[in-house]
A and B are shown apart, each in its own frame.
Chain A
Amino acid sequence: MNGLAAPASDEARTREEPRGATVRCLQGRVANAEVHEVELDEALAGARDGDEESFLVLWRTYQPRLLRYLRVLSVTDVDDIASETWLQVVRDLKRFRGDSSSFAAWLFTIARRRTVDAQRARHRRPTVLVDLREEFSHRGAHEPAAEETALDGLSTRSALAIIAALPVDQAEAVALSVIGGLTAAEIAEIVGVSAGAVRVRIHRGLRRLQASLDSRTEGATA
């Protein structure tokens, strides 16, 4: 990091700071989710006021999460559904009231409705996970490197494939929880079941995921 901070001069410190105050130099990234959330709230407020930069902060934050959620739900028209979702967001943003947390819930609610609509229109069940399953099950042709198979090196693509391999209700609950960062109550609102049922789905899904990851890790180290 350039521009590292140095302590203020002694004179300045005497003038500006209480006795015993220290200025500590830090390096490394800010792992402060709260700061990020405050920024998202600011971005949301700015986007509502018509500020493009603020809107782009929102979009760059949530677009990847939205696409990943949709990839767990659906496959063939992810980009179209994401586009339709954002168009509705853009249209209704001025009327939206809430913070960044409720914005995420709103965004995923719209996306889910769009997905269901699209799937109804195509007369197909909303559980088509073919691409990801195929990718996951046919990986023999291009085995991932051992370090990618290990948990810490898991790629986003592989992680999505693992979640997509869960039963659909569990996959969606886990995706909304992990990718969307939503609470059980918010997920319950979106998928139309009780918060308790959501917790059960997440619990079962995570147990399956853990088993799946354990077996992958064993396979990689065998």
Chain B
Amino acid sequence: MTASEPVDDLSGLRRALTAPGTPEELRAEAAVLAAYRGVTSRPGHGRTGLRLVSGLGMTAAASSLVLSMTAVTAAAYTANLPHAVQHAAHRLFHRIGVPAPERSHHAAPADLAAPQESAEPAHAGTRQATSTSGLPAEARRDGPLIRPARTLLRVGDPDRIGLTLGAAASRDRRPARVTLLARTPGALSWSAVAQTSLDSRGTATVTLSRVEHNLELRWSVARPQLRPLLSSIALVRAQPSLALSPTRASAARGSTVTLSALTAPAQHGRVLTLQELAAGRWRDVGSAVVDHLGHASIPLDTRQPGRHVYRGLLPSDRLFAAVTATASVEVTS
């Protein structure tokens, strides 16, 4: 029993005292981060391969690794590498879901073995039920895998994306409650968006539709009397649509031509950059702020005759993936 349990009838007080931090309470973030950097950057502070991956940010690291996995890493993900190599891959990438070799088939080398913790499940209702010691270390490190079928979707497309819970969670055959958690990148808390169960292979699949902005996704696999296992985080990026159209496809030199852009969903307040293809390279020729209806317009320079190829560019941000669109205008002399 925790000491805080007697205050159940004072739930309003408890909620107020444990409310999320206010901006005022979190204003020292930059200072404390600088102190942290000062300590972790000192010579002698342990840096591993994991540190290098982590330094990119877990989400970015996880998603980019999924996108650019080499055959070796892909094999590691599916635990198909030779035992020693799988162990090394696991040590480097366990936080993004690379499993350890199957213990039932191979004994871990002593120098690579993770420290073993108690595998005894804790009793419900005790603090230990939610304590780290309630789970075997190996189970936590393997964790469930999350495998989006794709990591880039167009906003509003009818396409759906399947998210598979990898078989790493299948070693434990007991019933499990599988929940798909999602959040907007950068948010602290997760929302449960779907709940399912494991199939006979220890996997599960949920299909997402109507993805309207970038999402971070992870599985939670919960078994009775054990704290849930969380997968690594996968980033599914949502790309807004962008259409470019000149007021005239062909215009006389020196005439007025405007390029209109339409974004959906409306990328209100974002800056659309216009580039022109010249000598095989894109160079910036203008920019405009998208209005609340998703429109932006940029006047074109029609002093040079010939065919002008333009590209509109909306860079990626926290909510959306980058998107480009092209258009061309023929300027006649």
Q: Interface residue count for B (Cβ, 8 Å)? A: 87
Which among B131, B192, B197 is the interface contact of A99 at CB below 8 angstroms? B131
A53 and B58 form a contact (CB under 8 A): yes
B228 and A35 form a contact (CB under 8 A): yes
A96 CB contacts on chain B under 8 angstroms: none
B57 to chain A, nearest CB (A): 6
Identity of the chain A residue whose Cβ is nearest the Cβ of B211 in the assembled complex: A3
B32 and A32 form a contact (CB under 8 A): no
B272 CB contacts on chain A under 8 angstroms: none
Identity of the chain A residue whose Cβ is nearest the Cβ of B44 in the assembled complex: A94
B160 CB contacts on chain A under 8 angstroms: 6
Which among A1, A38, A175, A213 is the interface contact of B193 at CB below 8 angstroms? A1
Known: A21-B196, A90-B39. A154 touches B16 (CB 8 A): yes
B4 and A181 form a contact (CB under 8 A): yes
Indicate if B20 sits at the interface (CB-CB under 8 A). Answer: yes
A208 to chain B, nearest CB (A): 11
Which among B45, B200, B204, B212 is the interface contact of A2 at CB below 8 angstroms? B212
Bound-complex Cα distance A17 to B95 (A): 27
B95 to chain A, nearest CB (A): 7
B331 to chain A, nearest CB (A): 42
Which segment of A121-129, A133-141, A198-206 sits at the interface?
Answer: A198-206
A39 and B230 form a contact (CB under 8 A): yes
Indicate if B329 sits at the interface (CB-CB under 8 A). Answer: no
Chain A: interface secondary structure? helix
Which among A52, A83, A159 is the interface contact of B36 at CB below 8 angstroms? A52
Bound-complex Cα distance A18 to B200 (A): 6
Identity of the chain A residue whose Cβ is nearest the Cβ of B155 in the assembled complex: A2
A23 and B206 form a contact (CB under 8 A): yes
Bound-complex Cα distance A54 to B233 (A): 13
A206 to chain B, nearest CB (A): 6
A41 to chain B, nearest CB (A): 6
Indicate if B210 sits at the interface (CB-CB under 8 A). Answer: yes
B228 CB contacts on chain A under 8 angstroms: 32, 34-35, 38
A178 and B7 form a contact (CB under 8 A): yes
B4 CB contacts on chain A under 8 angstroms: 177-178, 181-182
Indicate if B205 sits at the interface (CB-CB under 8 A). Answer: yes
A210 to chain B, nearest CB (A): 6
B142 to chain A, nearest CB (A): 14
B18 and A179 form a contact (CB under 8 A): yes
B55 and A101 form a contact (CB under 8 A): no
Indicate if B104 sits at the interface (CB-CB under 8 A). Answer: no
B181 to chain A, nearest CB (A): 6
B13 CB contacts on chain A under 8 angstroms: 151, 154, 159, 162-163, 178, 209, 213
Bound-complex Cα distance A12 to B203 (A): 12
A213 to chain B, nearest CB (A): 7
Bound-complex Cα distance A26 to B179 (A): 9
A178 and B213 form a contact (CB under 8 A): no
Which segment of B23-31, B81-89, B248-256 sits at the interface?
Answer: B23-31
Which segment of B69-77, B182-190, B279-287, B295-303 sits at the interface?
Answer: B182-190
Indicate if A112 sits at the interface (CB-CB under 8 A). Answer: no
Known: A2-B213, A35-B190, A156-B17. A51 touches B58 (CB 8 A): yes
A49 to chain B, nearest CB (A): 6
Using a CB–CB cutoff of 8 Å, the interface residues on chain B facing chain A are 1-4, 6-7, 9-22, 25-26, 28-29, 31-33, 35-37, 39-40, 45-48, 50-51, 54-55, 57-58, 95, 127, 130-133, 140, 160, 162, 164, 179-182, 188-197, 199-200, 203-213, 215, 220, 222, 227-230, 236
Q: Which 6 A-B pairs have the closest CB atoms?
A: A151-B12, A64-B21, A5-B194, A99-B132, A159-B16, A51-B54
A-B pairs with beta carbons under 8 Å apart, 23 shown: A2-B213, A2-B215, A3-B193, A18-B199, A29-B189, A30-B179, A33-B130, A34-B227, A35-B228, A59-B33, A63-B26, A99-B131, A99-B132, A99-B133, A151-B13, A156-B17, A177-B3, A177-B7, A178-B4, A178-B13, A202-B3, A206-B6, A209-B7
